[in-house]
Amino acid sequence: MTSSKVQQSLSGAALTDPVRYPASASFPVRTKRGFVLVLLTLLVPGSAQLVAGDRKLGRAALRVTLCVWAALVLAVLLLLLNRTLLINIITNPFASLALVILLVALAAGWAILFINTLRLIRPVLLAPKARPAVVIALVLAMVLGSGSLGYAAYLLNVGRNAIGSIFSSGPAIDPVEGRYNFLMMGGDAGEDRTGRRPDSLSVLSVDAETGQTAIISVPRNLQNAQFSEDSPMRTVYPDGYNCGDECLINAINTEVTNEYADLYPGVADPGAQATLEAVSGTLGITVQAYVLVDMQGFSSLIDAMGGIRIKAGGWVPMSGFFDDFTQTHGMPLGWIPAGEQTLNGDQALWYGRSREYVDDYSRIQRQQCVQQAMLKQLDPATLLAKFEDIANAGTKVVESNVSSSQLGSFVDLAIKAKGQDVKRLTIGPPDFDASFSTVPDFDEIHARVDELLASASAQGAQSAGVPDDAILVPAAGAGPVQAAGASSASVLAGGAAKQQPTPSDFVPVTTTPDGEPITEEMLTQLKREGNEEAIRQLVATNGQCAPL
């Protein structure tokens, strides 16, 4: 056979190829071809063009596809071997912007390939009944592929904007004695207040290697707070914040903001920084950074998460107006029942804020519980499903001087800490006497904090002889309460202290001593009758709380 006849034979065979020339194929083959091309474009972008269309376009698209696959493999390796670096890349403002642009370009390119695939399918050659099915399959595949990339770019941009709004661009911080210490403040800036007053103060101390966490709560009414040695406020209060009963630790923010901001040139929030320094000096540790949550907008963040789940030890009033003349609250706006509850944002705000019928320390315990519930329930599935709402809410309620350049390492620590037991200490009941915050012994505070942080290390937790989350209370006449994680010597010394159940091991009080169920109607009626003492007894256990 001559070469010309061979070429003609091959040319004829090519023209009958149903993949590149579907006109010669049967309707069932054309339909099958259409679905296959859609699937190829979805799974291996560019392959449909390579086998049935513009080979030059197909080769270029395949090169891009292989590069994307290589980048994904590299990302998985970083996730397994160096998760901190991967998160730092994603949270870096310039790298994240480049990723957003790249994802948008890939989404647009993929959409172009799907449109080109539709041209290759040539719907007019399909059987009339098959046309809608093939076209719908292509549209769904384009939404799944190109649409997912576009939505990922949008979410990444939302997160990028939120990070830029919440976190600072300042220098990175180093661990001190192997720990990062963050001051968590819940600030209230109500209409009747001058400036923002942090009524909730907790230090989150995290081991820089293991993520082992301890929470130290400082009551808002602590007096004579000591400023750290490097604090500019030591020139104003060299012997501590000791101007009388008005000098509570939660008043520092407002006073510094209004009167001493010039002592903090270049500092974005002098009041928050001064409060951080006061907590550092009071506890005898170096607190490196703060996170301030505006409690007025706190509920929107909880709602964005879909609520939080807790086990409440007792009924909590959503307090009404306060009567200055009688020094009592009016009729509560509602009640949060004891037992297992899912709290929306407004309920969670009142649950952490209410102190009616109980003391500040019960409120501190509930605030700790709300914080832990948020951390526990903000899992990857919740974050992904509600990411935009959570990010937008966060920009409205959260302020921090944590450097955005360190988010990767801190997120990695948070992942390590998740699921580990948390040790706690409150500078007040149940760990100190109720009057301790009025005349605090700072040497004792420093010793107890040092003991707690030592026990929060992995080796310390094994040698302390006290289970995580245990709270030790004194026997009669035994003196101040021991901190969670106290040394085994103090436990074994003649039975001076007895171990209480862990915070989650309690039975919610849902009935009266006579066995009658406690109801909102019962509490409301007692309030109308002015029987405050009866209510106080029925809700006395509402400081007990555990995240679910």
Give the per-residue pLDDT at 422.
78
pTM given for the model: 0.63
Pair of tokens at residue 461: 């937790």
Nearest to 202 by CA among 132, 250, 160: 250
Tell me the average pLDDT across 350-377. 78
Nearest to 188 by CA among 264, 254, 268, 267: 254
Residues 46 and 161 in one domain: yes
Give the per-residue pLDDT at 60.
93
Give the per-residue pLDDT at 45.
94
Give the per-residue pLDDT at 296.
63
- pLDDT band for position 103 (cuts 50, 70, 90): very high
Give the per-residue pLDDT at 283.
93
pLDDT tens for each residue of 188-242: 554 444 445 676 788 888 888 888 888 888 888 888 999 998 899 998 898 888 8
Instruction: Answer whether residue 268 is part of any domain.
Output: yes
Boundary-marking domain end, from 166, 197, 216: 166
Give the per-residue pLDDT at 170.
66
Give the per-residue pLDDT at 378.
65
Give the per-residue pLDDT at 543.
84
Give the per-residue pLDDT at 473.
31
pLDDT tens for each residue of 163-192: 766 666 666 778 888 888 888 887 655 444
Q: Which domain holds residue 124?
A: 17-166
231-237 long-range Cβ contacts below 8 angstroms, 24+ apart: 231/274, 231/277, 231/278, 231/280, 231/281, 232/260, 232/263, 232/264, 232/274, 233/260, 233/263, 233/274, 233/277, 233/278, 235/263, 236/260, 236/263
Residues 135 and 111 in one domain: yes
Give the per-residue pLDDT at 503.
54
CA atoms within 13 A on the CB side of 146: 19
Give the per-residue pLDDT at 105.
94
Instruction: Answer whether residue 174 is part of any domain.
Output: no
Q: Is the pLDDT of residue 113 over 90?
A: yes
Average pLDDT of the chain is 77
Residues 187 and 111 in one domain: no
Least confident of 21-30, 369-378, 419-428, 505-514: 369-378
Give the per-residue pLDDT at 322.
62
Give the C-alpha separation, 241 to 260, whole Å: 14
Give the C-alpha separation, 469 to 458, whole Å: 14
Give the per-residue pLDDT at 13.
45
Tell me the average pLDDT across 28-54. 91
On whether the CB atoms of residues 338 and 314 are closer than 8 A, the answer is yes
Which amino acid is it at 303? D
Instruction: Answer whether residue 7 is part of any domain.
Output: no
Per-residue DSSP letter, 147:
I
Tell me the average pLDDT across 290-295. 75
- pLDDT band for position 289 (cuts 50, 70, 90): confident
Residues 463 and 381 in one domain: yes
Residue 263 three-state SS: helix
Instruction: Answer whether residue 125 is part of any domain.
Output: yes
Residues 195 and 272 in one domain: yes
Per-residue DSSP letter, 235:
G
- pLDDT band for position 487 (cuts 50, 70, 90): very low
Instruction: Answer whether residue 10 is part of any domain.
Output: no
Residues 134 and 228 in one domain: no
Residues 159 and 241 in one domain: no
Instruction: Answer whether residue 6 is part of any domain.
Output: no
pLDDT tens for each residue of 432-460: 887 888 888 899 999 999 888 888 764 33
- pLDDT band for position 37 (cuts 50, 70, 90): very high
Boundary-marking domain end, from 133, 166, 199: 166
Residues 359 and 428 in one domain: yes
Residues 151 and 207 in one domain: no
Boundary-marking domain end, from 105, 140, 166: 166
CATH number, position 196: 3.40.630.190
pLDDT tens for each residue of 366-423: 877 887 787 677 655 555 555 555 555 555 556 677 776 777 677 777 777 776 777 8
How many folded domains does the chain comprise?
A: 2
Largest separation between any pair of C-alpha atoms in the chain: 115
Give the per-residue pLDDT at 496.
31
Give the per-residue pLDDT at 493.
28
pLDDT tens for each residue of 238-268: 888 887 777 888 888 888 988 999 999 988 8
Residues 433 and 399 in one domain: yes
- Percent of the chain, pLDDT > 90? 20
Give the per-residue pLDDT at 188.
57
Tell me the average pLDDT across 306-314. 87
Residues 147 and 249 in one domain: no
Pair of tokens at residue 496: 């001076």
Q: Is the pLDDT of residue 425 over 90?
A: no
Give the C-alpha separation, 362 to 354, whole Å: 9
The most confident of 137-141, 303-307, 343-347, by mean pLDDT? 137-141
Question: Distance from first CA to last CA of the chain, Å, rounded?
Answer: 82
What helix, strand, coil percent values describe the chain, rounded to 5? 50, 15, 35
Give the per-residue pLDDT at 500.
38
Give the C-alpha separation, 439 to 113, whole Å: 73
- pLDDT band for position 118 (cuts 50, 70, 90): very high
Give the per-residue pLDDT at 39.
93
Residue 503 three-state SS: coil
Residue 498 three-state SS: strand
Instruction: Answer whether residue 240 is part of any domain.
Output: yes
Per-residue DSSP letter, 207:
E
Helix 93-121 × helix 148-166 angle, to 10°: 170
Q: Is the pLDDT of residue 11 over 50?
A: no
Residues 152 and 192 in one domain: no
Q: Is the pLDDT of residue 468 over 50?
A: no
